[in-house]
Amino acid sequence: MVKKNSKWSKEFKPQIKALAEKLEVEEYKVLSALYVEVEDSFGLNLSEYRADYCFDNNLDRCSLHTVIENSYELWCCFEAVLSKMLDRFGICDEVF
């Protein structure tokens, strides 16, 4: 679950919602597509990042939102992929 006032919510939630509305799909489907695109575009395995984050922070589990929010590298990758998708579907950054 994403915290309402997290950096993630403030930065990405409106953009993900706009994409979901444009594509007429649920937001979780947009997120899934974004995760796959991040992994494919940058050769990353987000599951490994999540496992490392949980281990480093003594957590049993955590969301990918939390991992991305706390990793500058992943944040930049996610932001780049999201921006590319917004451009692809003609959603202007000025809306956000």
**Tens digits of pLDDT across the chain (96 residues):** 445 567 777 888 899 999 999 999 999 999 999 999 999 999 999 999 999 999 999 999 999 989 999 999 999 999 999 999 999 999 875 555
Report the alpha-carbon angle 65-42-5, nearest 5: 20
Residue 59, in any domain of the structure: yes
CA 73 to chain centre: 12
Q: Is residue 1 part of a domain?
A: no
Q: Is residue 3 part of a domain?
A: no
- Domain coverage including residue 16: 8-89
Domains of the chain: total = 1
Report if residue 42 sits inside a domain: yes
